Chain A
Amino acid sequence: MESQLPAEFVVNVDYEKCRRCKRCVMNCSFSAIEFKDKVTPNHRQCVACHRCATFCPESAITITENPLAYRYGYNWTPEIRKNILKQAESGGIILTGMGNPKPYPIYWDHMLIDACQVTNPSIDPLREPMELRTYLGAKPECLEFNSDSSLKTELAPQVKIDIPVVFAAMSYGAISLNAHKALAMAAKRMGTLMNTGEGGLHEDLAGYTDNIIVQVASGRFGVTSKYLNNSAIVEIKIGQGAKPGIGGHLPGEKVGEDISKTRMIPVGTDALSPAPHHDIYSIEDLSQLIYAIKEATDYKKPVSVKIAAVHNVAAIASGIVRAGADIVVIDGFRGGTGAAPMIIRDHVGIPVELALAAVDDRLRQEGIRNRASILVGGSIRQSADVVKAIALGADACIIGTASLIAMGCRVCQKCYTGNCAWGIATQKPELVRRLNPEVGADRLCNLLSAWGHEIQEVLGSLGINAIESLRGSRERLRGVGLGQETLDILGIKHAGIGQ
């Protein structure tokens, strides 16, 4: 049966302005624009990725939502009705990409940061040194010194990052090699880290050892002893904010020659990551894998464990730290993905703000907060979110979607189609080459530099000169429009309450 679904968007071409250069036709990777004597939109294919509108030299194209009205229903929203039509047509699970778009509360936007006035002076970051550097890894309970004042305590491996923002795990397969290269180059230049995700490490990135987190996920794709050692940090992926508790399927058509080599699987086969690691059914099993990795890397790399923020996250994080992890990564339910069932992305997990506060509290109560660094992600959108996360107790943040937007992503949520018009979430050579890794890296560096300056401004206004002085300093945050229970979980006071 012909699809009953009307177009989501309408492509409007201003034929007065159009010079018929066909640039839009060449740029559209979703077959939404053809040339039949004139530029002719196929509205139903349009995903609002803005590629055509951006590259039209005459600004002759605009994209609008299809004004086709559904009869009003607060309960039966147009989206719900469209999903039912799709499923009635196909019988399939609805797949989607990027992060949760639903209007759940965003707690970052209900927290405000303190500043100094009169009684304690603020600091001018333009004139005075302002430290954004931090170190990831387990910290000792105390330090002991020898008689010649050299350090007696054996320190766990530490990884220095010059800005408390790390690129989130996105696999080669989910995103293109050019996107991976841009992330690696930017990480190196900015003194931070990129994360391979679970797709293995392409040989072109072998030179970025000190700026790469390599991931070990349930599919163990491309994981060898060489891969583990070619890294700054090894990360065990248990969960992802966008799809807690489920695995990943990279469809066979995306497994070309190069991806096959990196993942070490035959060309054209599905890369299936089972939902759990089938060798990890308990904290003890997790500990076994953590120490297997430490043995394989001679105890020289911090081992990180990434989990999705779920109801019992604090107890789980405590177990992870006790299992021997040096870093815990908590990914909130608004985190992005290359592909996830919509039901999981939109309805499973909890906000990272609450998860972070709960985990930091729990680890402090148990006296083990020093034993692991905490990284948080799941929709860190701006430097203000980074500042608030660190004040809540994080060591640093991870950014995925924000880094993709910096490289051109328009958040059209079609990552899983492999047709990304911006050369990011695609493996088609003609699309991949649209993303110049050098340009991508420059834009990522610009973004991080800008955020760095902004964070320094806020630190100055707070009257402190190091990001590490802010960590866990919840007294410097106030809530607005939050109920008492939420304030208690976040461990902050309501705005208007003084000290």
Chain B
Amino acid sequence: MRIDAKGIHYRPLNKIIRIAAASGEKEFELDNVGGQRYIGTGLNDSIKITINGTPGNDLGAFMNGPKIIVNANAQDGIANTMNAGEIIVHGSVGDIIGYGMRGGKLYIKGDAGYRVGIHMKEYKKQVPIIIAGGTAGDFFGEYMAGGIMILLGLNGKSPLVGDYVGTGMHGGVIYIRGKVDPYHLGKEVSCLELGEEDMKLLGSYLKEYCEHFGFDFNEVVGGKFTKLVPLSHRPYGNLYVY
């Protein structure tokens, strides 16, 4: 199904998609998207949505299955509390990406804004992953409770990542391609060298990532990575007295 989204408010646009998906439509191509919010929000079907243009906030919020391809930049709140599915953005994205994300993949070609992956968490086989090709702002992985975040810095911008990386982190793992000065890090994370297992894990995800965006896999994976993990799974366990 091809929809010209020019001038359509998000409410009727998303309703068309919801109804069509419920009656079995599998592929959607949206042209002239200009800031419409909530595309893919709450959808459970295994459908594919291609977005030509810039979608608005909360793209794929509470999403549970669909695959979304954005052929432009995207805005704030992508993959908010997402449970499963895949979002591929051929551009940069705004703030609060992957808030409370519990599953699925979010691949971003360019930069990400502030507060990426806050309270991202994992549950059994549901391990969410966010990969951004450029840089990211402050509070990267704050309160992170699970999942994987990879920041590549391929565009050579500096600094690679903002302040308070992994503040309050109590689960999951962050890989940053390059060096992160300790003053950028939150108090609850520790910096480790990568082992063989890490490289295997990175390899599998980065291969897929590079295929989407046409990056040279060997060059990307050949960089020097920093691994960040939480110091404790219970950072605030000793704060209280009864």
Contact = CB atoms under 8 A, between A and B. Distances in A.
Interface of A: 86-87, 89-95, 216, 218-220, 223-226, 228, 249, 251-252, 260, 264-266, 268-270, 272, 274, 278-279, 288, 291-293, 295-298, 341, 416-417
Interface stretch (B76-84, B179-187, B208-216): B76-84
B163 to A, nearest CB: 15
Contacts of A86: 241
Given A288-B58, A288-B77, A278 B99 contact: yes
B14 to A, nearest CB: 6
A289 to B, nearest CB: 8
Given A87-B241, A295-B38, A295-B41, A225 B234 contact: no
Interface stretch (B25-33, B118-126, B151-159, B198-206): B118-126
Given A264-B121, A292-B58, A272 B64 contact: no
A92 B239 contact: yes
Given A225-B42, A252-B233, A288-B57, A220 B171 contact: no
A296 B58 CA distance: 11
A448 to B, nearest CB: 33
B234 A270 contact: yes
Contacts of A268: 233
Given A93-B240, A295-B61, 14 more contacts: A87-B241, A90-B241, A220-B100, A224-B62, A264-B123, A266-B123, A269-B145, A270-B235, A272-B119, A272-B145, A291-B38, A292-B77, A296-B61, A341-B240
A465 to B, nearest CB: 40
B236 A272 contact: yes
A22 B171 CA distance: 45
30 contacts: A87-B241, A92-B238, A92-B239, A92-B241, A94-B241, A95-B242, A224-B81, A226-B44, A264-B102, A265-B121, A266-B146, A269-B171, A270-B235, A272-B119, A272-B236, A274-B119, A274-B143, A274-B168, A278-B99, A279-B118, A288-B58, A288-B77, A291-B37, A292-B58, A292-B62, A292-B80, A296-B42, A296-B61, A297-B42, A298-B18
B170 interface: yes
Contact of A249 (B80, B100, B236): B236
B237 interface: yes
Query: Chain B, interface size: which category?
Result: 35 or more
A416 B241 CA distance: 11
A269 B171 CA distance: 8
B145 A93 contact: no
Nearest to A223: B81
Contact of B237 (A94, A270, A288, A292): A270
Contacts of A295: 10-11, 14, 38, 41-42, 61
Given A264-B102, A288-B58, A92 B240 contact: yes
B86 interface: no
* Highest count of chain B CB atoms <10 Å: which of A260, A279, A416: A279
Nearest to A83: B241
B119 A270 contact: no
Contacts of B96: 278-279
In the complex, the 10 A-B pairs of residues with the closest C-beta atoms, listed nearest first? A296-B42, A92-B241, A220-B100, A90-B241, A264-B123, A95-B240, A295-B38, A225-B42, A292-B61, A278-B118
B38 A220 contact: no
Interface string B39-71: 001111000000000000110011110000000
Contacts of B99: 220, 278-279
B142 interface: yes
Nearest to B44: A225
A417 B139 CA distance: 33
A190 to B, nearest CB: 31
B177 interface: no
B189 to A, nearest CB: 15
Given A90-B241, A295-B41, A416-B242, A224 B236 contact: no
Contacts of A298: 18, 42
Nearest to B139: A278
Interface in B108-163: 115, 118-119, 121-124, 126, 139, 142-143, 145-146
B112 to A, nearest CB: 14
Given A93-B241, A269-B145, A269-B170, A278 B115 contact: yes
B236 A278 contact: no
A226 B37 CA distance: 21
A434 B143 CA distance: 36
* Highest count of chain A CB atoms <10 Å: which of B76, B99, B119, B122: B119
A219 B143 CA distance: 9
A265 B123 contact: yes
A221 B51 CA distance: 30
B142 A278 contact: yes
* Highest count of chain A CB atoms <10 Å: which of B10, B96, B121, B171: B121
A265 B139 CA distance: 22
A316 B190 CA distance: 39
Contacts of A220: 81, 99-100, 102, 119
B80 A279 contact: yes
A363 to B, nearest CB: 25
B173 to A, nearest CB: 14
A341 B240 CA distance: 8
B152 to A, nearest CB: 23
Contacts of B102: 220, 224, 264
B145 A265 contact: yes
A218 B99 CA distance: 9
Contact of A270 (B38, B142, B146, B236): B236
A297 B235 CA distance: 35
A95 B236 CA distance: 13
Contacts of A264: 102, 121, 123, 126
A288 B37 contact: yes
Nearest to B118: A278
A165 B115 CA distance: 39
A114 to B, nearest CB: 46
B241 A292 contact: no
Nearest to A271: B145
